[in-house]
Structure 1
C-alpha cells in the first residue's frame, strides 16, 4: 500500500470513521486509529475468515486484498484503508448464490487444507496470480505463495490447487501449470 488517506476523526472520541469498500459493498465502521485492519475486520465487523497468528507480518495467515493486492492485514493500520477496496476470504464466493471461488474449490478438491488456519491467507495470496494474463511458470506459483506459512502440510497439495485453478482460468497456457 503506497499511501494513507485522511481519516475522519470522531470529535474527541479517540475513534475514526472509516469508509471503504468491503467485499464489493460500501462499508462504514468506527475504529481506533491505531487498530489494525485485521482487528477491524474481526472485532468491529465480525468477519472471522481472516486469521491472526504471528501479528508481525511473517506468516501470511491474515492476508487480504487491498485494491487487489495481497497484504498482511495485521500490518495495515485502520486509517490506511480509507477509500480503498478490501477483499477478504468471505468476499471471494459469489454474493448471488454463495458459489465458491475457483481457488476455494480447488483447495477443497485437492485436500490442500488440514487445520485450515492458513487457508484464507494462502487463497488470497494466490488470487492475484490468477488475475494476470499470459503464462505462468513454477516459479510464479511459488512466488505467489511466498510469505504464507503452513505448518500442517507440505505445500504439494496447495501448489496443486493453485496450478489447477490456473489451468481452469488460463486454458491457453498449456505449458505453464503442469
Structure 2
C-alpha cells in the first residue's frame, strides 16, 4: 500500500499556516490538521498568559504530532499547520514518517506578522509571543519558502501546488 504525502505548512504565529493549510488540503483533497489543537491545556494556559513554551513543554506535543503523521501517511496523506520553529522539532516530526515530509515555510516581516496577530480575535497566541518565536525560529533550507508580503492565501496555495507538480516531473 502506497503511503500518502504529508505536507507541513510552517512558520511563526500570524504567518497564515492555518488559512493556507486548509486551502491546500481542500485543493489536494487531503484532511487538514492544526498542531494548535494538539497542545495540552497547560501549554495553552502558558501561551494565553504570554509565557513562551520551552523545549520540555513541547516534547509531548511533538510526540503526539509525530504519531499523527505516522497514521496520516498510512491513511493517504494530510496537511498539518505547525510552527515547527526549530530543526530539532522538525526532526522529531520527520521521525514519524516513512517518506520525507513536504515542508512549506511561510515567512513574513515582523511588522506584517505583528499586525496580523493584533487583528486576530479569539486565539490564545497573541502578539506578545511573536518576538520569542522569531528568536527561536531556525529557517529550514530544504523547505519551499514563500514570502507573505503582497500575497493572497490562494496565490500561495497555487505556488505550492505548482511546485509540487514540478518536483514530481523531475
TM-score by length of 2: 0.22
Task: Compute the TM-score of the two structures, normalised by the length of structure 1.
Answer: 0.22
Q: Which has the larger Rg?
A: 1
Higher helix proportion (structure 1 or 2):
2
Structure with greater contact order relative to length (CA < 8 Å, sep ≥ 6): 2
